[in-house]
Amino acid sequence: MPPRTTAITIDGRITPEEWAGAAVTTGFAGIDTKLAAPTQTTVRLLYDDKAFYAAFTSPLPDKVKQNPDMTVGMTGTLSQTRDRFDTDVDHDDAVEINVMPDYPDGTWYRLLTNGLNTHYDYAISADNNIMLGWNPEWESASTLDSDGWRVEIRLPYTGFGATPPSPG
């Protein structure tokens, strides 16, 4: 993953200038089907000496693009019902980041956010103790328009007790 070379404003607007040189990945599978997702999300990744950055771009599914009733006002495009901090946003359309700095035997950190920018985060210790009280400081912002849904995230290393990665 390359280091960040320009400032990134966490506003849900993924600009080429901010994300220049980012590592890019796609090819995700459905959780239930294990098959390639019909609408592919693209993820961009960068880091600096304080935080890890991720940008998610998910185009609108064809069924939404082809239905004018769904694109006017963007109704029906995202399931976004959870609006309270630390609620189960994984029941909404959400992006999720899993972090395990001490792989494979360390604590697993799970962070999710939905289109309402509701955060849901917790940690699972190596002995499977779920720590719902783990609430790191992290930022996210999302935008939704006729091109799709975008989410930007900044995760400071201090929330994981981790240090910045080495270049390369």
pLDDT 10s digits, 134-146: 999 999 999 887 7
Q: Assign residue 27 a region: left if phi > 0, alpha if psi is -120 to 50, beta otherwise?
A: left
Higher-confidence residue of 54 and 145: namely 54
How distant, in Å, are the alpha carbons of 141, 151, 165 from that of 47? 17, 16, 8
pLDDT at 17 over 90: yes
What's the mean per-residue pLDDT of the chain? Answer: 84
Token pair 């956010």 is found at 113
Q: What is the pLDDT of residue 84?
A: 59
Q: What is the pLDDT of residue 152?
A: 97
Do β-strands 108-114 and 119-124 pair in parallel, antiparallel, or remain unpaired? antiparallel
Q: pTM of this prediction?
A: 0.84
pLDDT digits (tens, 9 = 90+) for 60-89: 777 766 665 654 444 455 555 556 556 667
For residues 71 and 63, give the distance between their C-alpha atoms in angstroms, rounded to a whole number: 10
